[in-house]
Structure 1
């Protein structure tokens, strides 16, 4: 501390010494500058004296020469005039601003100016010609130039007169008069020049003296002010030192190193020992400690300070040697460590308590490296305390999904929050276990993280118990499948994921047919085992991502997600129907069951889980109401009232029995010849109450109720019978097109039934064309090519109906039996002005020609459409421009009883009401 005071004093006095040196240097510099200016003024005075003497002597010499004409007198005159000319030339050169400094100096030397003053004279004449006194002196100097030049002219005239002997007394008298007149003009101006130079030198000398004096006074005052401030700072520093020394929280004592006695002590030392400050001076330093003390320079020592009243205080002593007033003095700082001792005692208690708790505890530094662990840590993880030291404790732990602990945890902890959660932790043997981990941070006064404290416990048993309770709450206790609540929750999650991924979700509602008979015939216990077997079979048909549930009784549900189309669920449903129809062996009994399945899909059939399940249930009832052991996709009609559904089923069945269905035949004409070459059979329902109904009003219902197959069979049989009738009455051999539904086309007995109908009515296959939509072709799936090949082998041609409105797969056009391409009316309507429709129709016609397919355009209603299609190369056309669908008798009236088809006139038909 004393050494520090000396350094501080030196630091305070150094600026003062520097300032004093600056003041002295400034004074010397100003004095030197003043001396140089005085030398310059002396040069001016010297030059003025030489110039004045030369001018006066030149006048005298010229007057003497005028009297006697002696050549030596004229030479003296010339010498003096040369001095005046040199001064004048140097003056004028400097005044021009562009001069040779060396030449000017040489001119002043030739004019006998004092050499030491030449540079100063040049500086003054160049930079300060207008200075006080200087300007008047130079002005007087310039005013004599013309007069001096006149003297030279007088001298020249006299010289020529003496040379040729023409000098007369009158001439000499006139010359002397002119010389005297010139002298009278020059002399006062020469005196003005001398006076101004002398006065200027006196004025500048005074100014220089005052300047040096003022600068010296100001510098001295500033130095004195700095000295006072520094001395005041030194006194303040001394007072602060004394204040700090006496008010320090630690006891500070100064000890004579040679004698070991106290030289000085602060108030804290006096208060701790309990005596007056002066009473400590002279006491042995070791005597103020219990059992003495051996201190070591530069190293702290722990001891017990003994007060005069017997109280003891644990202290830490730090000391160092300094030089004070020429002798070695030890400065000792005594620090009270009572709180530290108490904290260490509490820390030992806390450490013993920490070691005894059952949870694992980790203390890590700010880099998450382990500093300390308790005994429970080794019991839980298998890692010893030594093995974990220096390791990052977060590297041994992962989130439940396997990801590292997120950075957000540490950001939150640094912000003052606490984190608690479940992680997967690794044991020493490499196994993992679920761990409940709690992490908190210890921060310093600046809120920087110093340590992390992690408390953890193995929650495997608790988690297993929780999972068992959760399983019981979400699963059917009999089958282990998801219960209604869990199924709806998973269905909701699947719908949300499908919405983001733009995929489809399907719900299958499965109901066992006649399961009540099993319970009634055997027992409910056996029925429960049957339900368990059913659940197992359902599970075997599903993938890992699918969910099966039991929502009550013999009703099961299946959730299929990540589908491209709702119809993809039909494949799984078919497999389920096949699996559930196989015999079930329970005890010694063989149980044969079947099931009805309803399918509803997102987004087509509902946007939430409740709606999808309800709609799948409605589709299941539709399947069960029709034929059972089958599946149905939901359609909006299924949500109608059950009574209306049953009534519609009854009406459709009655229509089939009572023959309420009939066929209309719409002609298809060859566009080039204008002859009818084919007809299309169109179904109508002659409803007893609602009148004639087109297929669009009942075909979908018939499909949902399972009646479409029987209707398709009736249409095929009726069309074949009509062909046979026309053949008998001699009608032309028209081609008859029959529409086939996707259900009937996909049925395994379709091809066989078609062949049987042709044989029964003795109709050649070439007379029949099947119109199949792209959607129906898609419904065949992998059986498409097999079915088309079978039709080809049978001799049946196929027309792709509504081409361009569905999937427009080019692969269908290459299949066997496909011979015709029907252009949908939606493209014909815009002809011939719709640019897009024109482009699409021309592309279809070009493609059909390339593949060797015939083309039929439907929906032709205007002559312009007819003309466009004819020019574009379309083969046949249908539409109201030619004819509405006709009864068989009406169609027959269009033909003569000759075998050659008649031409159909293009007459605008009556508009259909």
Structure 2
């Protein structure tokens, strides 16, 4: 009832406010109507007066007076209200004469009396008053015009003057009249907004008060039900009210809704037994255990207790379900833990606070052979010792008691009396007070893993191929040897051993044979080692040997001699008998360095000196060796700049036809004008260029220079001789080599037959199958190919069968002792016979005597080179020799003494 009374009051208030708003709207409508009449009358006075002034029509004068009376009546009412003391009836009659709606007149009087200074209203009244004098002047003009028309028609000048006055007054009145109308309209709109806001605010306040009252009343009504529902829904167990007769659910609490994943309204009316997984219900004493299934598939194990009650005349069973999933899971975890403990591979010991064994698993029995019956009431640390044989220290138990976990290696014993290394992990289980209640020890037999670790440590420190120490292990031993030598005022020596020409073994046989050879070398080095000596393989065919316990480094010479002799003995590798030699460099502490890295580097420098000077020998380190190395580095830096500085040039050594002595070809020989060291021969910088990767750039420069020179000789109309140039293996085997030859020939516009490339046997061996492809491509271009230094490498007659070989150059080593050496005679004659039968032109190198020339001519050699004819000459000298009118006519070049 209070809510009903309150609602009626709110409705009544809203109706009253609405009636008041309607009355105000009527007032505003009347006010706007009066304003419209006043404005219209004012404008009409001007129109009528102006028309009367023009034509003197009495009807216009009468209309002017009627409209003037409306304006004057409204003005009088306004001024009367403004004075504050007025007769409401007289004011109402004045407004009525002005044409204002009677129902709106009281409201207009109220607004002019109380809201004359309201927004927009004050400005409107000000504009209204501002034209009073102008209206009166219009009335004066009307009187003057009436008097003038009564006396006859006024003159044109008089009418024009009066019309001008009317226009001026109208120009003053019209804007203020418009502004008055606008202000009245805006004021009416403002007042309407205020009215709406007030009405809305009042209605909202009344509604808010009613809603507050409704909340308090409804809260008191729901109090009892909410208390019951709160207790019902806040229960941790699921509660379901079930119709005992039909088994349908009548109500559930929030927990039951959450567990089933259904809204309470959805559960009402469902069959209670349908909530459980089929066949999962089973009795457990006075309760029932089953699997409650949610709509999302989640299943939880619940224990249900039921009690019967009555709702009115309806028997209802209250089912209280408790979630026992955690209890079931815990029981399952205990069972799994028990089974896991029995099945794990590691041994597990559980002991009490005194470390007496209470439980062990089967793996412990398998590892140690001890049964639980034997170990019970024994401390598990009695059968374990530290690796040094001492008992387990008390610090272990202190660490575990403080909450830590101790893991370490111990020595343990089996039941048969044997011992084994064991990884032992000890942790503690505490009671509620934090005191140790049980110890849990996990044991692992690490016999195999320890052996594997030792094997890995060995592999990390040793070369996998030879079994010798690797670089890091060698440096470690070297550091110890230096420390020992420093304490004893003795010496230690490092030998750097490098096999001579080992690469040729890999290239000639195979890398597998090379690896077996390295193993043999390692065995022979190990055979020579003493008690304090260590050998290592630091890479490729490089070995190092550390000799400790020396008095002076010179004692290392005896070991080096023995090692060279041992390595020079033939080695049988499969079906091959290989003879090797080595170059050894020796550096000693303290004379040559006090750091392992420095000693190895200095021994390496000494080895390089031995290999450069002689091979199959040893050298002690001297500081000058590093100076030579620095000089090689400086020469390498200069070589990188030589191409950019245009420091290379060519000389040409003629190749003559032995039968006629005519120059038929020249060989382009590269020279380097070093800015400080003068002219350098190829032997001094070509190996360095190959190691620095510059040889292809140098070969490319040589080819361009040769092509340009041939082009120049052709322009001079010289005989078309052949020009030979050397090609390195890196250039000859490069994929872009053939294309670069084509480009050089095209840019220089010379015939391909003018060029011949010389390639050595060793280069052919290195290139392998790519050699024949490149030779075939050059032959297809028309470029000649010569095998250089034939007979000095790993000669194979298979090379001569390759398509594209046009020339065979016999090395100077076979020509030097001709014709006195019968061996050289036989070899050269065999070479010439083979080449002749294969249709290959032969060229002999290094001819320096007439006897050599005559022998080769008789033997059938076609061409020859050497100092007997000429050394390498500048291009201008070659031009002079090939000129049609040479300054000398000798049929054969003069013998030139060698440099």
Q: TM-score, normalised by structure 1?
A: 0.35
Q: TM-score, normalised by structure 2?
A: 0.35
